[in-house]
Amino acid sequence: MRHIVKIILMLAPLLWSAAAVAQETPPTPLFDGFTHMGVASCTNAGCHGDQVTGPGAGPVVGQNEYIRWLSPGQKGAHSRAYTALWNDHARRIADNLGIGPAYQSPVCLNCHADNVAPNLRGDRFQISDGVGCEACHGGAQNWLASHRSAPGHQANISIGLYPTELPIARGKLCLGCHLGSIEDYQFVSHRIMGAGHPRLKFELDLYTAMQSHHAIDADYAARKYAAPGAKVWAVGQALALQRTLELVSDKTIGLDGAFPEFVFFDCHACHQPIADDDSTLSWRANPARGLGPGAPTFNDANLIMLIAASRILDPALAEELEGQGRAVHSAAQTSHSAFIDAAQRLKETADALVVRFDGLDYSDGSGRAVLDQVLSDRLAERYTNYAVAEQALFAVQRLVADLTDGGKVSQSDAKRLNKAIAEAGKAVESPYTYNQDQFRRALKGLAATLEKN
């Protein structure tokens, strides 16, 4: 069945919906059809592997991008993705699933490495490089030489370079591994998580910052497009909801036997401590859902963030999202067909939001206005569960960074804001210790500091 789906997708490329494509994006690098030349092709000192003249010494690019990708810190996570498949934890997950060695299984390699077909691997290609340069930038067969000889960025895109600078294209690429993709055979199911795989979490702007291997400076902006962080955040939220609903509706992914695929539901609506006393009881009514305790709950973290953004863009649209979200929650308690119908209606709205958010330039202060919504009591009362609080914290981190990096607040206030963010982070350290009251108090402190600016 999955091979049939793949053939269909190859014959009729998935464009989400005609209304949702702000710009057509090429196939993601895993199936771009170009030869991937290997990380070693990029590591010359005169290219991206300069270790001598100091960081960022290049006249156009820093030329230290390989060193940053290889770093032992967070920015080097992609370079270590493949080696993670050799540790004891990966071995146990693979054994539990019965898929053979993790470092050989496509189930794992399609996200933990640049697992292109063998005939598309150049002489210097090594699967052990993990998520290397071409896993994100596309097979360099045609543009390896030309992107250095300066024919222009758009010319390189036309011959295979993937346009990661565009928020929609970047989101489509990143969500493959960090949420799932039908067309690229990337999906961490509930069974895989049950075998021991960590819960997936993702926010496009935050993860962009964490994995950035290059500086977005004047040179970058002159050659490419430097999207504001608020736009990347909003587009990423809409894409994540869109992709979730796309996967939910797919017959090969959205069901697991007689049950829905539980990975689309809020993990901690079910995974909560159970005790005879009040000390560990954590369920609270959520005004966005209309559900009672014990109900399987569709993960609406991205939806709630979109409601915050939509209240600034179009209040009537925000109300429509509210209603469609409640309809999805209600339908999930009745039947699979009702759930899919409600999900499809919500997806149509998400499709439109991708385009609308991508079309804004955020120079009018709308990013700050969205931040005020995220911090508001009206929205904070919905942060009843860990997943949505996590997304709210990500939103606060990135939208505040947009203000501080742009010099829109004083240095002293920036310190106070970061201190309040750290306090909020303490409440969201673990799903089993999440404290909504503590989180809301920290958000109030953030809001009070912002009111001075």
How high is the pLDDT of residue 14?
31
How high is the pLDDT of residue 8?
30
Distance CA 149, CA 151 (A): 6
> Mind giving me the DSSP string for 302-345?
HHHHHHHHHHHH-HHHHHHHHHHHHHHHHHTTT-HHHHHHHHHH
Spatial contact of 446 and 421, defined as CB atoms under 8 Å apart: yes
How high is the pLDDT of residue 180?
97
How high is the pLDDT of residue 279?
65
Structural domain spans, the chain = 1-25+167-453, 26-162
Spatial contact of 440 and 380, defined as CB atoms under 8 Å apart: yes
Residue segments in the chain with a per-residue pLDDT below the cut of 50 = 1-22
Beta bridge partners of 265: 298
How high is the pLDDT of residue 162?
97
Spatial contact of 271 and 296, defined as CB atoms under 8 Å apart: no
Distance CA 236, CA 174 (A): 10
Alpha carbon distances (Å) from 322 to 91, 306, 307, 327: 43, 10, 7, 9
Q: How many CB atoms lie within 10 A of CB 409?
A: 19
Distance CA 309, CA 288 (A): 15
How high is the pLDDT of residue 59?
77
Which residue, among 346, 288, 286, has the nearest Cα to 317 in the 3D structure?
A: 346
Which residue, among 66, 67, 101, has the nearest Cα to 87 in the 3D structure?
A: 101
Give the orientation angle of helix 229-248 with respect to helix 336-358, to 10 degrees. 160
Which phi and psi (to 5°) does residue 336 adopt?
-65, -40
Alpha carbon distances (Å) from 415 to 367, 381, 400, 410, 452: 20, 26, 11, 9, 14
Dump pLDDT digits (tens) for 307-354: 999 999 999 999 999 999 999 999 999 999 999 999 999 999 999 999
Distance CA 430, CA 392 (A): 15
